[in-house]
Amino acid sequence: MVKLQINGKTVEAREGEMLLAVIKRQGIEVPTQCHHEAIEPTGNCRLCMVEITKKNWDGWKKSVTSCLYPVEEGLIVETHNDKLFEIRKTILDLQLARSPHSDYVRKMALDYGLEKSSYPVEPDGDDCIMCYACTRICEVLGKSAISPTQRGHQKVIAGPFGEAPPDCIGCLSCAHICPTDHIKWNDKGQTRTIWDKSFELIACSKCGKKTITREFADYLIEKRELPANYFEICDDCKRQETAEKIGSLVVRAREATI
Amino acid sequence: MKIDSIRKLNKWRREIRTQQKAIKTRVLICLGPGCLAGGSDLILKEFRTILKKKKIKNISVASIKKTGCHGFCARGPLVIIEPQGIFYSKVKKIHVAEIIEKTLQRGEIIEKLLYKDPDTEKIYKEWRKIPFYARQQKIALRNVGQIDPDEITDYIANGGYSALAKILKGMKPEEVIEQVSASGLRGRGGAGFSTGRKWATCARAEDEPRYVLCNGDEGDPGAFMDRCIMEGDPHTVLEGMIICAYAVGSKEGYIYVREEYPLAVVNLQKAIDDARRFGLLGDNILGSDLCFDIEISKGGGAFVCGESSALMKSVAGEIGEPRAKYVRSVLKGLHDKPTVLNNVESYANIPVIIEKGADWFASIGTKKSAGTKAFSLAGKIRNTGLIEVPMGITLREIIYDIGGGINDNREFKAVQTGGPSGGCLPADKLDLDVDFDTLTENGSMMGSGGMVVMDDRTCMVDVSRYFLNFLVEESCGKCVPCREGLYQLHKLNEKVCKGKAGDDDLKLMENLSRTIMSSSLCGLGQSGPNPFLSTIMYFRDEYEAHVNEQKCPGGVCKDLITYRINDDCDGCMACLKVCAADAITGKKNEKHVIDEIKCDRCGACYAVCNINAIDII
């Protein structure tokens, strides 16, 4: 265990743990955008920055992203002060210019008293805040179908060469993890569309309800070594089947006792 | 032929030297980037063609040598005749026959090709005496311009691989690190971190394997020092890396070179192939237990890939984006393993440090910045080129004594050091010592060694805009402050250039700069606002002129200037002919007039007028 000080209070943390986890455990609110428990931190949004110092640093302070900074014995951490407020406010101010239509960004900016951006707003700006949550979850799933492409302000998340990603299996993990709901998708009849790519949806052989894409099913069957017919029946029908089975067993048992 | 012992290496060196002694006269033809652009490859070909046809006593095709950059790019193409050191500048193909006939055959000097100092009118016969060279001290560049980079024998004849032999013969890895530490060598890529300390940390790391990387991703506009070392003396980079590998216990190394340096890639590859063939790379180097090999990793030309963590990702085949370095790359670098990453010039210093000793190196330069530093002089300076000077020399000495002052005898305004994220220093900082700490203290930085000189016709607001634009395009786009912050900072800077900004915009720019610097993920963003901050620190009056008076004192920002023909105009029609917008009217020998509405302010008329009859208002 490691002992450190957060906002004046001494706390304990496991070795190798990141500062942000310890801060959150204390019930302290630090804004984040790109952080998600399911994926590795990358430090894109910079909102979780805190100031650290140590007793022997002669008062020198360093701003670090708490999501990436491993705890250290004797660390003195400050999560809120004027400088950090200014950093967070400026970042949100910049995002407000880039993604003026995003409710997510607008709400966060409002917490910092920003009703409109101090910078020239891009009326056509999209809602992508470049947090990489989508590409990271795709990587965790083992597909890495999409990735950040281009540089700087031109950067976009896309498939290889800006085309429909060949490795995408239509699992929707990216769309679900996206904090700003920027990744659009839809299910129409038998077809799911995402990233300019169409997928066939599996229909439950019992009730006919559409479940997941054929590609996603094949991928899971292979990866988890599931029976080949595992996805033929939907979860609801499976549950019903099981209930019926248990029900009939109960009935049989009761009949036997009588 | 494998050189599998130090004895064999020494014997080979003696043999090469004996062979080379037989060649009395050597004609060195600079094939550095500048001279090559001037057609020096044609000069080389011409020398060889004529000498093949013509039999001349003591001179053969073997006397003709192509070399890397000799340094004095402004006077290129250069031909140097050794051992006399005769310096011919601005040589053309048509001069070759004359040089052979007069100088090589009869020993006569061709005066018109010699260098004449434009101020003193003194004519110099020997290159070492020219002021441009006289103040220099070459360590990293010691062989560049002196040897044929394709010939491993040239390198060996000049003492190459003897430092490697020295450590293999009698130095422990710790002793090598000790020497490098004691020499005071600091990273020549710009950050100035102690090279010895870096090596020591890597050697102490418990994880394996360890990697040795060379950063040849030189991307600063106007910088070409590393390029010239890689092109002109590739073996010194290899030797430096092999010594490092021995010191830290590595078996695998990579040289990261940008693909825009095709000649560097070719020359390095040739050097690697030769070194492998002779047993200087690969298993059991020089018959010792040391096994180390190097591969070239080509970069796609992203500026950010010069940043250590982005570079390592790029070498590993991933997207070249930096990561937070709270765990340093020397412990968790390439493939998350301990990695030493040094700049090309740092490695080029290593063999000399090992051979001549740490004390010798530490005695050069200043106490905290030992040794020399290579710079490329660019911009409005008379003697553009590649130089190497001891640390602690003043900016004035570099710009005036070596650089020959400002073009057309105009007034000096600023010098930009440290590349796009460096800073611009004004005239009253000319007497600053050039070393890592002094430059940083004054709002600029050493950087990798690009030096861009600006004259009084430069608008500092426009300079800031230019470099910010470069950084906006080169930002990787991963973190918000760098991607969005620099973008907005550049847009605000453009607004100033157009004369549409107010005081509050300047304040906003300053506040934004602070946040970008304190919250960006990597060095690119953290130093990104420097072009703006250093220009507003030293040239606030120019910003104020743009904001308050809608005037551009440098006469550069198009929206704020007007070209007007004054009474000196003699009606020569030169400006009228070059005007693409057809904005100039007038008859021969009569004063011309510029239509301010039609004029698109391209400046062509101003550039073409020989009698200063056009004013910028």
Confidence of residue B60 (pLDDT cuts 50, 70, 90): confident
Domain annotation covers residue A190: yes
What is the domain extent for residue B580?
562-616
Q: With a cut of 80, say whether residue A258 has pLDDT above it.
A: no
In a domain, B12, yes or no: no
Same domain, B249 and B301: yes
Nearest CB partner across the interface for B485, out of A94, A151, A155: A94
pLDDT reading at B58 higher than 80: no
Looking at the fold, whether A137 and A224 belong to one and the same domain comes out as yes
β-sheet bridge partners, residue A185 = A194
B117 belongs to a structural domain: yes
Q: Considering chain A, what is the average pLDDT of its residues? A: 94
Res. B443 pLDDT band, cuts 50 70 90? confident
Q: What is the CATH number of the domain that holds B470?
A: 1.20.1440.230
Please tell me the predicted confidence (pLDDT) of residue B62.
84
CATH of the domain at B403: 3.10.20.600
Residue A100 lies in a domain: no
Q: What is the mean pLDDT of residues B422-450?
A: 91
Within this chain, do residues A143 and A54 fall inside the same structural domain, yes or no? no
- The residue range of the domain holding A62 is 2-80
Whether the predicted pLDDT of B299 surpasses 80: yes
- The average pLDDT across A178-190 equals 94
Q: What is the pLDDT of residues B99-143, one digit of tens each?
A: 999 999 888 999 999 999 998 999 999 999 999 999 999 999 999
CB A112 within 8 A of CB A84: no
Contacts of B486 in chain A (CB under 8 A): 152
Same domain, B289 and B400: no
* Whole-number average pLDDT of chain B: 94
Identify which of A65, A53, A54, A66 has the alpha carbon closest to the alpha carbon of residue A22. A66
Q: Are residues A163 and A225 in the same domain?
A: yes
B520 located within any domain: yes
Q: B458, B486, B505: which is the final residue of a domain?
A: B458
| pLDDT at residue B56 tops 80 | no
B323 touches chain A (CB under 8 A): yes
Percentage above 90 pLDDT, chain A:
93
For residue B486, what are the contacts with CB-CB under 8 A and spacing of at least 6? A152, B468, B471, B472, B475, B516, B525, B528, B529
Q: Which residues in chain A have Cβ-Cβ distances shorter than 8 Å to B321? A: 148
Asked if the Cβ–Cβ distance from B478 to A70 is below 8 Å, we say no
Q: How far is CA B381 from CA B377, B408, B523, in A?
A: 7, 9, 29
Q: For a pLDDT cut of 90, what percent of chain B falls above it?
A: 86
Q: Is the pLDDT of residue B421 over 90?
A: no
Q: Which one of B319, B326, B491 has the shortest CB-CB distance to A147?
A: B319
Is the Cβ–Cβ distance between B293 and B253 less than 8 Å? yes
Average pLDDT rounded to a whole number, residues B508-518: 96
At which of B520, B548, B576 does a domain end? B548
Q: Does residue B525 surpass a pLDDT of 90? A: yes
Instruction: Give residue B409's pLDDT band: very low, low, confident or very high (50, 70, 90).
Output: confident
| Whether residue B454 is found in the same domain as residue B466 | no
Q: Which 3 state secondary structure label does DSSP give B125?
A: coil
Which of A38, A59, A80 lies at the terminal end of a domain, its last residue? A80
Interface check for A65 against chain B (CB to CB < 8 A): the answer is yes
pLDDT in tens, A116-145: 999 999 999 999 999 999 999 999 999 999
Whether residue B186 sits in one domain with residue B67: no
Q: How confident is the model at residue B281 (pLDDT cuts 50, 70, 90)?
A: very high
ipTM: 0.92
Question: In this structure, are B35 and B100 located in the same domain?
Answer: yes
How many domains would you assign to chain A? 2
pLDDT value at residue B59: 79
Please tell me whether residues A225 and A147 are part of one structural domain: yes
Residue B183, pLDDT score: 96
Judgement on whether residues B383 and B522 belong to the same structural domain of the protein: no
Are residue A138 and residue A72 in the same domain, yes or no? Answer: no
> Are both B454 and B474 inside the same structural domain?
no
Residue A10 lies in a domain: yes
pLDDT of residue B239: 97
Give the global pTM: 0.92
What is the rounded average pLDDT of the residues B340-352? 96
- Write down how long chain B is: 617
Quote the minimal CA–CA distance from A100 to chain B in Å.
13
CATH of the domain at B176: 3.40.50.11540
In a domain, A245, yes or no: no
The alpha carbon of residue A30 and the mean position of all alpha carbons in its chain are separated, in whole angstroms, by 17
Cβ separation A63–B518 shorter than 8 A = yes
Q: What average pLDDT does range A150-165 have in this prediction?
A: 93
- In B, residues 501-530, which contact A (CB 8 Å cutoff)? 508, 511-512, 514-515, 518-521
Q: Region B393-416: what's the mean pLDDT?
A: 94
DSSP codes, B268-280: HHHHHHHHHHTTS
Chain mean position to CA B45: 27
Same domain for B320 and B198: yes
Cβ pair A152:B476 closer than 8 A: yes
Domain boundary among B362, B386, B418: B362
Is A30 inside any structural domain?
Answer: yes
Model pLDDT for residues B541-568, shown as the tens digit of each residue: 999 999 999 999 999 999 999 999 999 9
pLDDT-based confidence at residue B519 (cuts at 50, 70, 90): very high
pLDDT at B57 over 80: no
Looking at the complex, report in whole angstroms how far the Cα of residue B308 sits from the nearest Cα belonging to chain A. 16
Interface check for B255 against chain A (CB to CB < 8 A): the answer is: no
Task: Say if B184 falls within a structural domain.
Answer: yes
Instruction: Determine, yes or no, domain membership for B528.
Output: yes
Q: Does the beta-carbon distance from B475 to A151 stay under 8 Å? A: yes
Q: Which residues contact B266 (CB under 8 A, 6 or more apart)?
A: none
Kindly state whether B252 is in contact with chain A, defined as any CB-CB distance less than 8 angstroms: no
Interface contact flag, A91 B326, Cβ < 8 Å = no
| Same domain assignment for residues B447 and B300 | no
What CATH code is carried by the domain that includes residue B52? 3.40.30.10
Is the same domain home to B446 and B482? no
Strand order in the sheet with B339-343: B293-299, B252-258, B211-216, B339-343
Whether pLDDT at B260 is above 80: yes
Residue among B437, B400, B396, B395 nearest B417 (CA): B395
CB contacts, 8 Å: A64 with chain B = 324, 326
pLDDT at B360 over 90: yes
In a domain, B42, yes or no: yes
Residue B348 is predicted with a pLDDT of: 97
Q: Provide, as residue numbers in chain B, all residues whose Cβ is less than 8 Å from the Cβ of A90.
A: 481, 485, 511-512, 515, 519
Q: B484 and B400: one domain?
A: no
Q: Please give the tally of structural domains in chain B.
A: 5
The sign of the CA dihedral B402, B407, B411, B416 is: negative
Inter-chain contacts counted by CB atoms under 8 A, chains A and B: 105
Q: Which among A64, A94, A129 has CB closest to B488?
A: A94
Distance from CA of A219 to the nearest CA of B (A): 24
> Tokens 């000799």 map to which residue?
B70
The answer as to whether B266 is a domain residue is: yes
pLDDT confidence bin for B448, thresholds 50/70/90: confident
Residue A237's Cβ-count burial label (10 Å; 0-12, 13-18, 19+) is middle
A121 at interface of B, judged by CB pairs closer than 8 A: no
Which segments within A159-204 are labelled E, that is strand?
A: 185-188, 191-194, 197-203
**Domain membership flag for residue B142:** no
Q: Do B323 and A43 touch (CB under 8 A)?
A: yes
The pLDDT score that the predictor gives to residue A147 is: 95
| Shared domain check, A139 and A76 | no
Q: Is the peptide bond before B83 cis (omega within 30 degrees of 0)?
A: yes
Say if residue B411 is in the same domain as residue B533: no
Name every chain B residue with its beta carbon within 8 A of the beta carbon of A46: 479-481, 519-521
The answer to whether A6 and A26 are in contact (CB under 8 A) is yes
pLDDT at position B49 over 80: yes
